[in-house]
């Protein structure tokens, strides 16, 4: 009688647990990545969110007569607003017969919009406080570049100056904005767009001469770089009437051109954010008084 063959026993796989273990480790890794991303707070974005929520939950004044004669009316807004009343600061306005008279045109320190009380010292302090808040907002947005010594922000009196190293914005000997420059200036435009303040863009170079077909001297290079920034700001929605471009060449150094570090510091573009809304008077005051430098 023919014997039946025994069925071969199936081999037992003792490593099947590795599949489940690998899946578990992958999910655990993804979990910790998400937790880390959630825990990292961007201060600039947090400030935008905070101001937006504050604006959303503020109850507007309900009155049959919304204009209060002769009284201060404070308006607040957010970084993402599109009008001056939506600026990331408090603004003041007066209505009725108690509007303050504008100060004398002969005053070289003038520059505030008469509507906010140009001749009033309290209004001046309020404007300077507003500029201080704007400077703090710019610092928080550009903090990573400030930490790398590529950008510096200073506030003095009725001026804010944002110094940006040229190598951060332009290739050597060029006035074409780099991609990182567009990102930085786009972030700045979100802050500056809703404000009424005039903005002067100043181009500066070191004392190394340049003689190319496009730029016969440092005058042309510095002016072209300032104009490139102004053109981008205009395309990003900032009112062109608030913008001006100036090229100083190598004639306004902030460091010694004898060293490479000094020349690097002198190659810069400076945004000068001025008080008030009158660019012509502010530009004249800055030229006569030398600004905050």
Q: Are strands 243-247 and 199-204 parallel, antiparallel or unpaired?
A: parallel
Q: CATH classification of 70-289 is 3.30.1330.60, yes or no? A: yes
Q: What is the spatial distance between Cα 182 and Cα 190, in angstroms, rounded to a whole number? A: 12
Q: Where are the domains of the chain?
A: 70-289
Task: State pLDDT tens for residues 78-90.
Answer: 443 444 444 444 3
**pLDDT greater at residue 132 or residue 115:** 132
Q: Given a cut of 80, is residue 263 above it in pLDDT?
A: yes
Which 3 state secondary structure label does DSSP give 166?
A: helix
Task: Tell me the two tokens of residue 102.
Answer: 């504008």
pLDDT digits (tens, 9 = 90+) for 191-210: 999 999 999 999 999 999 99
Q: Which two tokens stand for residue 77?
A: 């807004």
Residue 251: phi, psi to the nearest 5?
-90, 0
- Which tens digit of pLDDT belongs to each residue from 4-31? 555 555 666 667 778 888 888 998 888 8
DSSP 77: -
Half-sphere exposure for 128 (CA within 13 Å, toward CB): 11
Which pLDDT score is estimated for 222? 94
What is the spatial distance between Cα 236 and Cα 285, in angstroms, rounded to a whole number? 28
The pLDDT assigned to 231 comes to 95
pTM above 0.85, yes or no: no
Buried b (16+ CB within 10 A) or exposed e, 77-98: bbbebeeeebbbbebbebeeee
* pLDDT tens-digit series, residues 224-255: 999 999 999 999 999 999 999 999 999 999 99
Measure Cα distances from 46 to 43, 77, 133 in Å.
Answer: 5, 15, 15
């Amino acid at each position: 009688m023919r014997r039946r063959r025994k069925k071969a026993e199936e081999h037992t796989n003792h490593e099947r647990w590795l599949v489940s273990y690998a899946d578990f480790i992958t999910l655990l890794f993804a979990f910790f990545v998400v937790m880390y991303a959630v825990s990292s707070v961007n201060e600039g974005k947090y400030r935008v969110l905070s101001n937006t929520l504050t604006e959303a939950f503020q109850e507007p004044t309900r009155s049959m007569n919304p204009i209060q004669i002769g009284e201060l009316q404070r308006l607040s807004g957010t970084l993402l607003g599109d009008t001056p009343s939506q600026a990331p600061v408090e603004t003041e306005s007066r209505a009725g017969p108690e509007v303050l008279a504008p100060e004398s045109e002969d005053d070289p320190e003038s520059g505030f919009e008469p509507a906010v009380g140009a001749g009033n010292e309290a209004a001046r302090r309020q404007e300077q406080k507003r500029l201080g808040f704007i400077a703090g907002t710019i610092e928080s947005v550009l903090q990573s570049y400030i930490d790398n010594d590529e950008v510096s922000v200073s506030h003095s009196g009725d001026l804010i100056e944002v110094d940006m190293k040229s190598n951060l914005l332009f290739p050597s000997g060029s006035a074409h904005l780099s991609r990182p420059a567009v990102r930085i200036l786009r972030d700045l435009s979100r802050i500056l767009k809703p404000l009424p303040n005039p903005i002067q863009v100043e181009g500066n170079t070191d004392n190394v001469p340049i003689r190319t077909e496009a730029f016969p001297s440092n005058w042309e290079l510095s002016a072209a770089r300032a104009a490139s920034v102004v053109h981008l700001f205009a395309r990003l929605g900032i009112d062109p009437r608030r913008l001006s471009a100036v090229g100083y060449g190598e004639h306004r150094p902030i460091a010694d051109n004898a060293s490479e570090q000094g020349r690097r510091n002198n190659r810069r573009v400076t945004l000068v954010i001025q008080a008030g809304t009158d660019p012509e008077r502010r530009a004249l005051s800055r030229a006569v008084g030398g600004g905050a430098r």
